[in-house]
Structures are given as structure tokens and as C-alpha cells.
Amino acid sequence: MKLKTLLLGSAGALAVAGGAQAADLSVAEPVEYVKVCDAFGAGYWYIPGTDTCLKIGGYVRFDANFFSQKDVYEGTGIHSATWEFATEAKVTVTANSMTEYGPLTGFIALVGRSDNNHPTVNKNDYREGKGLVFVDEAYLSLGPLLVGRTGSIYDYTGGFTYDGYSYDADAAADQVRLTWAMSGFGVMLAIEDPRDRWGTDLSATYHMPNIIAAVTAAQGHWDAKLSVGWAETTSGTGFGAQIATTIKLDELAKGDKLMLKAAWAQGQVGAWADAPTAVYANGSSVWSVVASFQHMWTGQLSTAITAGYTDRPLTTSAGFGDIWQVRANLVWAPVTGFAAGIEGSYVKSQTGTLSPGIWSAKVRLQRSW
């Protein structure tokens, strides 16, 4: 009798315990899986518990650079040998969500570089792995409004080679921008911090920001951009203008394209048609032309060539007078996200250390995602 009672009691206890565990399982919090977000293109996913879509990108790049002249490469004078290795990494984070006012976007791009050649970084820091890390871009936008640091609306691509054309306008700026687009046409207006473009080469007592306007078009096999800029200088106002187009040449080979660009600027704001550091005396002017062509031999093998000429006064903080430059490369991309290539360049100036003509070569391996 006692044994029967003990068995019945044990069975009852187990039943109660099992019921309790089942009850616990029934009220467990559901697992929230990451979901794909296709509202803003490929690569986005929803941040759990929100309607914000996130995308993470970037690259790791290794360059081996070679030069024909010690201590000189495009006039920088910071190379200690005729070769160097350089490693660069970039991480980008994009957050997008849709609102009643249009898309709400936040974007951050961080770049870290180690090349033992940055003129303002202690060389011991490089040897100890403390390379240069900086905010390449950071901005937020809501509908047509964008505020933050990103590429100027004045600029356009420098070409399809690795380094494009080194002597044309290409500078990021802290800015406030408005963009309107419809049926392949767009209008852009922006005010930019002058110090991001001119640095300390102009007066520190600015009263006005740089004012930039651009008109864009994208129709089928071509796109184009006309941009103009106005800036306050120590000697009055300065102006710049640039026009550029890219034409798709798929009839030659799928992916072929040609870029053409011309720019003109006056006075102290000559960098709107020249290298970002170029500053001229008021009353002078500078103009430049650039062409770049990319040909796809196969879906994995391509060649690009970029050539340019900048007509500049001899009296300039950038030095060297007129500049001629040509670059060409061969790039192999056997799998998605990986490319290897070799690029050669030649630059020659009217006067100065570049007047004999400087050759350089670059071997690049890059993993992108």
C-alpha cells in the first residue's frame, strides 16, 4: 500500500512539473530574426524592432607604389624612396527609413590608412600600428535636404583609372544642400564652408560661405552635369564653372564608357579648375580638360585610360605651371568583391621638379563588400 501511494505521488509530481515547464514554454518571448529590407536596394536589412534599414559596406586595399624619382611624386616631396607599400580600409554605414517627408538617411564613412608618408603624422605612430583614421563622410538627409560632410556638388568624377586626374577639383566639404529631381533632370543648390575648399590660403575673416549650384541630367546612355561656384576671396569675389558628361558605349562592349570634362576658374579660387590646394593671385585664371575611357575586354577584365591638361599661371601656391598627365590600368576581377590591377602614370610640368617628367606605377589588390 505504501509503495502504491509513493508511486502515485511521484507520478503526480512529475505531471505538475511537466505542466509547469510547458506553461513556461508557451509564454517564452518570440525570437526576432533579422529581415531583409528591399525598399532601398540590395544589401539592406531591418534593425530588429524598428522600421530602419541598415547597410554596411567598405573595402580593404593594399597598394604597392613605385616611382621613377626619389622624394618626388607629383610634387609632394614626402617619399623617402622610389617605392612604398600602403594599406587602406574603409567602412561605410547607411541607415534609411521612409517618412511622410521622404527618405530619412544617415551615412558615415570612416577611412584608416597606413602608408608611412603622411606629412602630419608621427612616423613612430605608423610603426606602432597607429595609422591615420579620419571621417571621410558623415551626413544626414531628409527628403531634398542634406547636411553634413560629403563631396561637393561642384565636383564630378576624375576618371575611371585608380587615381583619376590629380589636377582637378575634388574636395569634400561641410555643407547644407537642397536637391530636386524629376524625369532624369535635377537641380542642386548648396552652401559650403570655405575652409574645407581653400584651407588657410584665403582670408580667415570670411563673411559668406561658398555658394554652389548644379544642373544634372541622366537620359538613357548618357549623363551630364553643369556646376558653377561663387566664393569670397581676399581680393573680392571669385567664380568657377565646370561641365562634364559620361557616355555609355555598350555598342562597343557592355560596360564601355567615355567621360569628358572641362573647367575654368578665376583668381584665388583656381582650385575649382585645378588641384584642391591650388591658389592663384587675383586677376589670373586657370582652365583644365580631362578625358577618360574604360573598355571591358571581358566581364572580368577591363582597361581604363585617363588624360588631362591644366593651363595654370606660373605664380601659384601649387607651383609647376602647366601640367600634363596620363594614366592607364589593367584590372582583373575574377570574383565578386575582389579585384587586382596594375596602373601606370606619367606627369610633366612646365617648370619645377616635375618638369623632367615623372613615371609611377601602382599594383593594387582590393576586397570590397
Reading the block at residue 245, the C-alpha cell is 558628361
Residue ending a domain, choose from 143, 159, 190 = 143
Residue 8 lies in a domain: no
Lowest-confidence range among 23-27, 135-139, 258-262, 287-291?
A: 23-27
pLDDT at 33 over 90: no
Nearest alpha-carbon partner for 299 in 266, 263, 335, 274:
335
pLDDT at 150 over 90: yes
Average pLDDT over residues 155-174: 88
Nearest alpha-carbon partner for 326 in 161, 156, 79:
161
Residue 159 lies in a domain: yes
Judge if 211 and 326 occupy the same domain.
Answer: yes
Query: Best-predicted range by mean pLDDT among 238-242, 275-279, 297-301?
Result: 297-301
Residue 99 lies in a domain: yes
pLDDT at 335 over 70: yes
Greater model confidence, 186 or 130: 186
Residue 21 lies in a domain: no
Residue 137 lies in a domain: yes
Which 3 state secondary structure label does DSSP give 152? coil
Average pLDDT over residues 200-206: 60
Judge if 156 and 127 occupy the same domain.
Answer: no
* pLDDT > 70 in the chain, percent: 78
Residue 7 lies in a domain: no
94, 105 Cβ separation under 8 angstroms: yes
pLDDT at 304 over 70: yes
Judge if 212 and 95 occupy the same domain.
Answer: no
Judge if 123 and 158 occupy the same domain.
Answer: no
State the pLDDT confidence band at 320, using cuts at 50, 70 and 90: low
Judge if 123 and 248 occupy the same domain.
Answer: no
Model pTM greater than 0.75? yes
Residue 162 domain boundaries? 146-369
Domain count, the chain: 2
State the pLDDT confidence band at 111, using cuts at 50, 70 and 90: very high
pLDDT at 277 over 70: no
Neighbours of 120 (CB within 10 A): 5
Judge if 78 and 167 occupy the same domain.
Answer: no
Residue ending a domain, choose from 120, 143, 166 = 143
Judge if 359 and 268 occupy the same domain.
Answer: yes
C-alpha torsion 69→72→78→84, nearest 10: -40
Judge if 357 and 266 occupy the same domain.
Answer: yes
Residue 16 lies in a domain: no
Q: Given this model, what pLDDT does residue 17 score? A: 45
Q: Given this model, what pLDDT does residue 93 score? A: 98
Instruction: Give me the CATH number covering residue 337.
Output: 2.40.160.10
Judge if 240 and 313 occupy the same domain.
Answer: yes
Judge if 58 and 86 occupy the same domain.
Answer: yes
Judge if 192 and 124 occupy the same domain.
Answer: no
Residue ending a domain, choose from 125, 143, 161 = 143
Q: Given this model, what pLDDT does residue 31 score? A: 57
Lowest-confidence range among 85-89, 247-251, 280-284?
A: 280-284
State the pLDDT confidence band at 233, using cuts at 50, 70 and 90: confident
Q: Which residues contact 2 (CB under 8 A, 6 or more apart)?
A: none
Residue 11 lies in a domain: no
280-305 as b/e, with b when 16 or more CB fall inside 10 Å?
Answer: beeebbbbbbbbbbbbbeeeeebbbb
Judge if 161 and 309 occupy the same domain.
Answer: yes
Q: Given this model, what pLDDT does residue 268 score? A: 77
Reading the block at residue 233, the C-alpha cell is 576671396
State the pLDDT confidence band at 14, using cuts at 50, 70 and 90: very low
